[in-house]
A and B are shown apart, each in its own frame.
Chain A
Amino acid sequence: MPDVKRSIRPSEVRMSRSTPLRGVHESLGATLTDFAGWQMPLRYGSESAEHNAVRTAAGLFDLSHMGEIFVVGAQAGEALDRALVGHLSVLAPGRARYTMIVNETGGILDDLIVYRLDEDRYMVVANASNYALVARELADRVRGHNARVTDRSDEYALVAVQGPRAAGILAALTDADLDDLKYYAIVPGVVAGAPALIARTGYTGEDGFELFVANEHAVPLWNALAEAGKDAGLVPAGLSARDTLRLEAGMPLYGNELSAAITPFDAGLGRVVRFDKPGDFVGKAALERAAENGTRRRLVGLAALGRRVPRHGYPVTREGAVVGEVTSGAPSQSLGRPIAMAYVDEGALDKGGLAVDIRGSQEPVDVVDLPFYRRSK
């Protein structure tokens, strides 16, 4: 079993960074893994049990490796309109938007959630692997506007509570009115004594909250949530469950579905590009061409007929010819069969008869609509 040894990589353990919750994860017996230079919990016990807990009750996640970049000033909105593909100046205070930052050729540098905290204050949440680049790009791109970019990633911890029982668990610990907090909205509040930004966002396909707090509040906040949710079935959940949850929900992962070689249109996310906003933005000309030309390959969902799992990088084939590539794949708890996302040639999609080359064996797959899983409201 060579993979077992390879997954441990002791040299990286020493080099990588830890979140304020590392000690908590270790005391819970978590298997830690290196993710984008951070020691993060991969799972605490069974990852399928963690996955199912989030679908049916609630899960608690440490996402402190994510980046928080503040853009502040009278022209912060206009500056973000120029820097990103979305129309952020019209976002209402207290609301959030999923958007992207692209390069001059339209390639995706990161996918982001931008929260408008108040009239002249935005928080840009970026992926762990990209936030340093995003902060640099933002600082560069807002020049000439009355707006200041501050990377505060090192000051903030991020704890998420996700699942159908998340609201009930969180409500017992905060004075914030969660009934009034809509999906993709954010409100400041106090949670278990900690000043927090409470956002109704997530990456699991379930209702849930992301709580941004100063590092020193992370451990007491985690412990309070774990205690408050114990009877409701809340369990700590690691990155492995987070990955299968987001995959079932059809949500892209930077580095898998998204990269600098891919435009938002390639990824089927052209809706985030707002050509109708005033003024120019970085990548606009290239994205206009991409929108006009259409795409050769499209991001689709695949469901395997057998039990073997299509994984990142495996070829998608049709009658022996390579017609695409898998970007993410996993066994799906909710569907009971392996699922994957893949870029597949437009021409091959109509014809059917697709397979994934799983280590030399052509395993048949169906093309299915994304998302694989949609929660019942």
Chain B
Amino acid sequence: MSTIPDDLSYTKEHEWVAGIEDGLTVTVGITAYAAEQLGDVVFVEVHAEAGSTVAAGDTVGEVESTKSVSDIFAPVGGEVVEINPAVVDDPSLVNSDPYGEGWLFRVRVEQEPDDLLSAAEYTALTSGES
């Protein structure tokens, strides 16, 4: 079973959100559970450009594996400040290090989001599915 780090927040769409320092710039990626379900990721694209504003729930990109293609959603609203060039270049980072090198993008938020799932809630969600 895949790991679910305690110090991250999660969404029902199998994304994780990590706060940085001031709590106002967050990093977004997809969970190890999702990466396992997808299989080998071969293509990652974040359409939203750095500097653009997104709303929570917006489709901001897509991740493609050998067998499937899935949308990437913005789990929080705010300004996209950075897209991970390494994961665009080497999409397999999503499989090999989903919570680290395989992060997707960073968003500056107005306030700390409070409607995300805790690690315990996300664990319950994924154990119900498998």
Contact = CB atoms under 8 A, between A and B. Distances in A.
Interface of A: 1-5, 7-8, 10, 31, 42-43, 46-48, 240, 243-244, 307-309, 311, 330-331, 359
B97 interface: no
22 contacts: A1-B30, A1-B34, A1-B38, A1-B70, A1-B72, A1-B73, A2-B13, A2-B71, A4-B37, A5-B129, A8-B37, A8-B130, A43-B39, A46-B95, A47-B39, A48-B66, A308-B45, A308-B64, A309-B69, A331-B42, A331-B66, A359-B62
Contacts of B43: 307-309, 331
Contacts of A309: 42-43, 64, 69
B36 interface: yes
Contacts of A46: 39-40, 95
Contacts, number: 68
B13 A1 contact: yes
Given A240-B39, A307-B43, A42 B13 contact: no
Q: How many residues of B sit at the interface, in one of the four size bands?
A: 20 to 34
Contacts of B73: 1
Interface of B: 13-15, 30, 33-34, 36-40, 42-43, 45, 62-64, 66-73, 95, 129-130
B70 A2 contact: yes
A45 to B, nearest CB: 9
Given A1-B13, A4-B38, A43-B39, A240 B130 contact: no
Contacts of B71: 1-2
Nearest to B37: A4
Nearest to A311: B69
A330 B66 CA distance: 6
B64 to A, nearest CB: 6
A244 B66 contact: yes
A113 to B, nearest CB: 25
A209 B48 CA distance: 49
Contacts of B15: 1
Contacts of A307: 42-43
A240 B65 CA distance: 11
A159 B115 CA distance: 49
Given A2-B13, A2-B71, A4-B14, A240 B66 contact: yes
A4 to B, nearest CB: 5
A3 B42 contact: no
Given A4-B37, A244-B66, A308-B43, 18 more contacts: A1-B13, A1-B14, A1-B73, A2-B70, A3-B38, A3-B68, A3-B70, A4-B34, A4-B70, A31-B36, A31-B37, A47-B40, A47-B67, A240-B67, A308-B64, A309-B43, A309-B69, A331-B42
Contacts of A47: 39-40, 66-67
